[in-house]
Chain A
Amino acid sequence: MISRYYLEAFERFYETFVAIFSSSYILFYLFLAVLSYLAIKKHLNAKYFIHDDLLVKSNNMIGVSVIAPAYNEGATIVSNVKSLLSLTYPNFEVIIVNDGSIDDTLEKLIREFQLVQVDFYYKEKIKTRKVRGHYKSTNPIYAKLLVVDKENGKSKADASNAGINSAKHPLFLCTDVDCILKKDTIIKLAKPFMESKRKVIATGAGIRISNSCEVKDGFLVKVHFPTNWYARFQELEYVRAFLFGRMAWSQINGLLLVSGGLGMFDKEVAIAAGGYWHKSLGEDMELITRMRKHMYDTKQQFSIKYIPESLCWTEVPANAEVLIRQRSRWARGLVQTLYIHRTMFFNPKYGKTAFLILPYFFSFEFMVPILELLGVFSLLIGFYILDIDYIFLFYVSLFVYLFYLILTLVSIFLDEILYRNYANLKEILILTGMAFIEPFAYHPVNIYASLKGYWQFFRQKEQKWGDMPRLGFNSQNKKENETT
C-alpha cells in the first residue's frame, strides 16, 4: 500500500513536471520558428547587397586557410584535395593535416601533388601532438596546398589545432576532408566577416547529405535524394536542424554550435580561446562556447552568423551501428561541454549565453533523452500497477506527435520554397512520409545513442577519432551503401 502511495505520488509529480516541461518546450520552439523565419527573410532580402563576381576578382579580400584533417583517407584523399583546391576565392590556402594515418594517405599526397618536405617555421600556439613535418608542392599549380604531417592525437581537434598553428591567414575554415564544398563556399562564409559592423568570430552554413549524390573526382555532379533509410531520416533531421534551429539562434546571436563539417573562424580569437580542445568529443560546440566565453571575458562585442544555404555535402552513417556510434559521440560531446562550462550557467558576466543558450541546451537538448526514458518507465508502472486515463494519454500523445509533425513539415515546406533542393514531387512525398514514421522508427535509435553517450561520459570511457567507414562515391560502393 505504502509503495503504491509513493508510486502514485511520483506519477503525479512526473505528470505535472512533464506537462510544464513540454509546454515550455513547445513555446520555445514556436519562438524559434518565428526567429528562424525572420532570419531567413533577412538573408533573402539582402541578396542584392553584394555580388560575388566582384569579390572573386579583388586582391583585398581577407585571406582564408581551409583546414581539413585526414586520418586514413587514402581511398579518396587525392580527389578530395583537388576538390578543395578548386574553390573560388582570391586569397586562400588548403592545409591538409595528416593525423598519423596508418594507410597510404601521406604517400598518395606526396606522389600526386609532387610534395617535398620544407623547413616550415612552426610555432605551437595551441599545444598538439608532435608535428613531424610540413610539405609543399614543387608544382606551382598546387602552390596553395600545405600538408602537415603529425603524430596521431586520437582526435580531430588535435589535428585541426596543428592546422590552425600552421595557417597563415587571419580566417580559417574547418571542414572534413571528405566533405564536398560548393565552389563559392569561402566567399559566402567570409562575407559576414567583412560586412558586419560588429566583430564576427565565426560563421557556418547548411550541410546536406551526399550519400546518393553523383560525385566525380571529388566534385559534386548531381544532387540526389538519399535512397538509404537512415540517410533519409538524417536528411529530415538536417533540414529541421539547419532551417529551424540554427537560423533561429543566429537571428538572436545565440549560436553555440557551428558544425565541424563546415565552419569559418577568426583565427586570433580561436587561438586566444585555446583552440579546439583535444579531449572533447564535441569539439565544434566546445570551441564556440569557449570563444563566446573569451569574448565576454575580454568585454568585446561579437557575433556568430549562420547562412541559410547548403554549402557542404557530407556522407552520413548508413546503418544503425555507425549511426549509434556517431550520435553517442555527439551526446558525450554535449554533456562534456555543458559540464566543463558549468560555471557559466546563470553568471551575469556571460549574458544570454548564461541565461538562455546554456540553459536551453541543458533543458531541451541534454535532458530530453533522460526524460523520455523516465517517461517509458513511468508508463510501464502506470500500465501494470496504477490506473491510467487512457483517453487523456492518447490526446496528449497525439498533441505532441502533431506538434512535432507540424514542425518537421514546415521545415520541409520552407526548404522547398526557398531552395527547391529536391528533384521532384516524389522525393518530397517520401520525405513527408518519413516525417510521419520518424518518431517510431528513427527517434528511439537516437535516444538510445544519446543515453549510451551519457553513460560512456559518466563512465569516462576513452575517446578516439570518430571512425566512419567511407564508402566513397563510386557506383559499386554506392550501391552497397544504399542496400546496407
Chain B
Amino acid sequence: MIFLIVVILVTISDRIVYEYSKQYRSTIRQKITAFLTELLFTDAEDYQNRIRDFKKQIPYSSPWCKSMVTGCIIELKQNIKGEVTAPILDIYKSFGLQHFSEKLINSRRWYIKCKGIYHFQVLEYEEGEGLVKKYMNHKNRILRSNAFIAFISLTSKKLDFLSDYPYEISLIDELKVMDLLYHKKFPIPKNIKDWITAQNPSIVKLGIRFMVYYNYTVEKDTLLALLASDNKMIRKEVIIALQELFLFEAEPLLIDMFTSEEIENKIAILQTLAVIGSSESIAFIDDYLHRSVNPATKLEAVRTLDTLDPSYLKSNFKEDFEIIKIKKHVKNPYL
C-alpha cells in the first residue's frame, strides 16, 4: 500500500516539477537560441565578452544548462549550411563547452561518454581526437563504434592504420564511414592491399568500397582473387565493385561461380553481367533461363538479357509462357 502511494505521489510530483521546469527551460532555450543566432553574425573578436555577459543571464553553471547550450549549438550547425557555419566551432570553444564535453567523456558511464564523443564529432572539434581515440578499443561495442566513427571524422591523418582494426563493423557503421569518406575526401590509403587482404571482413569490405570510390584498379588482381573468399558478403561486395569498376575480364569468373552462389549473390552477378557482359554472358543466360526455376533470379536474368541485347530477347523464348510474362514485366515502363 505504501509503495502504491509512493508511486502515485512520485508520478504526480514528477509531472508538476516537469511542467514548471518545462516553462522555465523553454524560456532559457529561447534566450540561448536568440543569442546564438545573433552571435553568428557578430565579429569573432567580441565572442568572449558577449558570451561572458550572456552566461550571467542564464543558470550556466548547471550541467543541464551547459547541455542545453551545446544542444542549441549542434542544432544551429545542423540547420544552417554554407560559410556561415564556420564560426560555430569558435562559439563552442568560447563558451568553454569543450571542457563540458570532455567531462562527459571522462564519466564512468559509457553512454555519457558517447554523448561527449557525439559533441566532438558533430561540432568537428579536432583537438578532441586524442581523447576519442583511446575508446576505439573499448570493450563496450556501442562506445567503441561511436569512438571509431568520431575518430575518423575528426582525424586529419590518413586512414592507413585502419587495416589492422580488429573489430567487426556493422552495416550502419559502414554507411557512416562511407558518408565521411564522401565528405572528408580522404586520400586512398597507400596500403589498400592490406585492407582488402585483412583478416577482418569489415575492413575488406571498406577497402573495396574505397577502391570503387576512387575508381582504383591497380589492385584488380587482388580484387578478383577475393571472388574465391569464404565470406559471402565479401564476394557480394566484390561482385558489385566489378560492375562499378568496369572490370570486363571478370566475366568468365562470374559465370563460373554463378551456380555455386546463393540467390542474393546470383542476382548481384546478373546485375554485374548486365554492365560488363558480352556474347558469352548472353549464351550463359540463355542456357540458364532454360534451366532456372527461381523466380527472382529468372526475373533478373531476363532483365540482364534485355540490357545486353534487347533484340535477342525479342526474337527468342517465344514459346516459353513464363519468360513471356517476365519479358512483359521487364519492358513495362512503370515497373
Q: Which residues of A come within 8 Å of B, CB atoms?
A: 44-46, 48-50, 53-55, 57-58, 60-62, 116, 118-121, 123, 125, 136-138, 143, 191, 194-197, 402, 405-406, 409-410, 412-413, 416-417, 420, 424-425, 428-429, 432
Contacts and interface: CB of A to CB of B under 8 A. Distances in A.
B111 interface: yes
Nearest to A143: B334
A331 to B, nearest CB: 30
A406 B7 CA distance: 8
Contacts of B78: 53
Contacts of A58: 175, 178-179
Interface stretch (B45-53, B269-277, B322-330): B322-330
Contacts of A143: 334
Given A138-B334, A195-B171, A406-B7, 5 more contacts: A45-B114, A60-B171, A121-B328, A194-B172, A425-B19
Interface residues of B, number: 42
A410 B3 CA distance: 10
B262 to A, nearest CB: 10
Contacts of B335: 118-120, 136
B7 A413 contact: yes
A50 B150 CA distance: 11
B4 A405 contact: yes
Contacts of A138: 334
B3 A406 contact: yes
Contacts of A54: 175-176, 179
B170 A120 contact: no
Contacts of B178: 58, 60
A44 B115 CA distance: 12
Interface string B176-207: 10110000000000000000000000000000
A62 B176 CA distance: 14
Contacts of B114: 45-46, 48-49
B332 interface: yes
A46 B15 contact: no
Give the 10 A-B CB pairs with smallest separation, nearest first: A119-B328, A121-B329, A45-B111, A136-B334, A123-B295, A194-B171, A48-B114, A413-B11, A409-B7, A48-B118
Contacts of A194: 170-172
Contacts of B334: 116, 118, 136-138, 143
A432 B9 CA distance: 11
B281 interface: no
B146 interface: yes
Contact of B146 (A48, A118, A402, A425): A48
A46 to B, nearest CB: 5
Interface in B105-119: 110-111, 114-115, 117-118
Contacts of A50: 172, 176
B168 A197 contact: yes
A195 B170 contact: yes
Contact of B11 (A55, A57, A121, A412): A412
Given A121-B299, A402-B4, A413-B10, A425 B115 contact: no
A399 to B, nearest CB: 10
24 contacts: A44-B111, A45-B111, A46-B114, A46-B142, A48-B115, A49-B142, A49-B145, A54-B179, A55-B172, A57-B179, A61-B175, A118-B334, A119-B335, A121-B299, A125-B295, A406-B4, A406-B7, A409-B11, A413-B7, A413-B14, A416-B15, A424-B19, A428-B11, A428-B12
A135 B94 CA distance: 59
A452 to B, nearest CB: 33
B18 interface: yes
A27 B318 CA distance: 69
B218 interface: no
A428 B15 contact: yes
A478 B19 CA distance: 29
B71 to A, nearest CB: 12
B80 interface: no
B11 A45 contact: no
A144 to B, nearest CB: 12
A384 B329 CA distance: 74
B257 interface: no
Interface string B110-140: 1100110110000000000000000000000
Contacts of A196: 170
A63 to B, nearest CB: 12
B1 interface: yes
A121 B328 CA distance: 8
Interface string B198-228: 0000000000000000000000000000000
Contacts of A425: 12, 15-16, 19
B152 to A, nearest CB: 13
B332 A118 contact: yes
B253 interface: no
A268 to B, nearest CB: 9
Given A45-B111, A48-B118, A50-B172, A119 B19 contact: no
B8 interface: yes
Nearest to B3: A406
A143 B334 CA distance: 8
Contacts of A417: 14
Nearest to B149: A50
Contacts of A44: 111
Contacts of B8: 409, 432
A241 to B, nearest CB: 19
A406 B1 CA distance: 9
A125 B295 CA distance: 9
A85 to B, nearest CB: 16
Interface string B1-34: 1011001101110111011000000000000000
A420 B15 CA distance: 9
A138 B334 CA distance: 7
B98 to A, nearest CB: 17
A409 B7 CA distance: 7
Given A48-B146, A424-B19, A119 B332 contact: yes
A425 to B, nearest CB: 5
B212 to A, nearest CB: 12
Contacts of A197: 168, 170
